[in-house]
């Protein structure tokens, strides 16, 4: 058996990466409805959805993807799958692949690298066929990716966006690479890629937010990563939505910061909050699926985001979560896939069916992506 292991590993490594059919048409937007930029946007939306779903459902993780890239031998289809689908991990381990892909002899691979790099960063992607095909442009983009690799040796991607936000507001920041973006775009990118591990960065940014709209935007990100209910929900038929709904949440964050005497462990905060909100203490700091499943039963979509990232570690299917619109219908419909995986039907007294949540052993997934 031991002698066969290297052969088995080689066979697994040679398996093609999961690639949806839509990749066969990338980057030609002519197959999509619409005109001009809207047509391109429709194409990119479908490519992103399908490649993310395939890679997160059936593909290896970011480090394994990078190992596959470094070993070489990937055909163009696999390269596109990695560059576009792997971006969904938002993991800096993949950045060297984009550096090399932006210098590829294949124009399609270079275009996929440009789009995938933007998605990995939580940024707006360029229209691939609108990128001028000149050596200078591609070299400039590869150089930017190279600088990102260097920057993420000392900062997280969220940290780079935080510094970019501070630069945009004219506030002091750490030295190093920043992205030239509007402050609101920096916060939108942070919302897209932040995880509980980024909590220290977000709490360090919080006292520097002197623009109310920016403060509320970060408050909503903190809800996602802390698995917390911070924004008040208007109740009743005549309830009105206004600035007041954010006041209590901001006060909670201020109080949390005031109590801190050390850098918080973001995943511990998220897990403890999950136990409190779900009202189910599994005795091992949310290392079983039950607390996370119970979060999905709450009518408060922001607390679903981390749960949907954690549950695949217990065998659940991956379902995408649109962080830009937590209350969207697509997010709510996606929960059905999770519940159908964990629910078990059994005969109950009276000839009825009893439905319950299936428990798993106390071997929770790691917090990493």
- Domain parsing of the chain, residue ranges: 15-151, 157-231+250-264
For the entire predicted model, the pTM comes to: 0.87
- Are the CB atoms for 101 and 79 separated by under 8 Å? yes
More confident residue, 15 or 232: 15
Check residue 212 and give its pLDDT. Answer: 92
Tens-place pLDDT, residues 89-131: 999 999 999 999 999 999 999 999 999 999 999 999 999 999 9
Tens-place pLDDT, residues 68-89: 999 999 999 999 999 999 999 9
Instruction: Name the band, by pLDDT with cuts 50, 70 and 90, for residue 196.
Output: very high
Report helix angle 37-58 to 107-121, nearest 10: 80
Please determine, for residue 35, whether its predicted confidence score (pLDDT) is greater than 50.
yes
CA atoms within 13 A on the CB side of 1: 0
More confident residue, 368 or 173: 173
Distances (CA, A) of 333 to 14, 263, 294, 339: 36, 37, 16, 11
Check residue 176 and give its pLDDT. Answer: 95
Cross-strand pairs, 355: 345
The DSSP annotation for 148-164 comes to: HHHHTTTS-HHHHHHHH
Instruction: Name the band, by pLDDT with cuts 50, 70 and 90, for residue 368.
Output: very low
Distances (CA, A) of 234 to 147, 244, 252, 277, 323: 45, 10, 18, 19, 21
Please determine, for residue 347, whether its predicted confidence score (pLDDT) is greater than 80.
no
Check residue 238 and give its pLDDT. Answer: 53
């Amino acid at each position: 058996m031991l002698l066969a292991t290297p052969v088995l590993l080689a066979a697994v490594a040679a398996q093609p990466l999961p690639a949806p059919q839509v990749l066969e048409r990338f980057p030609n937007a002519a197959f999509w409805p619409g005109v001009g930029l809207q047509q391109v946007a429709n194409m990119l939306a479908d490519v992103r959805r399908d490649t993310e779903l395939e890679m997160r459902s059936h593909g290896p993780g970011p480090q394994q993807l990078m190992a596959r890239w470094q070993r070489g031998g990937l055909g163009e289809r696999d390269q596109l799958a990695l560059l576009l689908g792997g971006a969904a991990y938002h993991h800096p381990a993949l950045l060297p692949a984009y550096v090399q892909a932006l210098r590829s002899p294949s124009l399609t691979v270079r275009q996929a690298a440009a789009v995938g790099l933007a998605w990995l960063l939580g940024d707006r992607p360029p229209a691939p066929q609108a990128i001028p095909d000149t050596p200078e442009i591609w070299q400039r983009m590869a150089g930017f990716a190279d600088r990102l690799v260097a920057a993420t040796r000392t900062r997280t991607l969220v940290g780079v966006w935080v510094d970019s936000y501070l630069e945009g507001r004219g506030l002091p920041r750490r030295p190093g690479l920043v992205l030239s973006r509007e402050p609101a775009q920096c916060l939108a990118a942070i919302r897209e890629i932040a995880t509980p591990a980024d909590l220290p960065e977000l709490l360090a940014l919080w006292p520097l937010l002197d623009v109310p709209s920016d403060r509320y935007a970060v408050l909503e990100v903190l809800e996602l990563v802390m698995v917390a209910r911070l924004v008040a929900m208007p109740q009743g038929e005549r309830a009105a939505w206004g600035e007041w709904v954010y006041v209590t949440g901001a006060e909670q964050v201020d109080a949390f910061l005031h109590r801190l005497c050390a850098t918080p462990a973001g995943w511990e905060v998220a897990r403890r909050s999950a136990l409190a909100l779900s009202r189910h203490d599994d005795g091992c700091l949310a290392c079983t699926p039950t607390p996370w499943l119970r979060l999905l039963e709450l009518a408060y979509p922001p607390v679903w985001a981390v749960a949907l990232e954690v549950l695949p570690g217990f065998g659940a299917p991956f379902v995408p979560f649109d962080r830009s619109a937590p209350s969207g219908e697509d997010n709510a419909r996606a929960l059905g896939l999770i519940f159908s995986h964990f629910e078990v039907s059994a005969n109950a007294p009276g000839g009825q069916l009893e439905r319950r949540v299936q428990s798993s052993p106390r071997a929770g997934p790691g917090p990493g992506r």
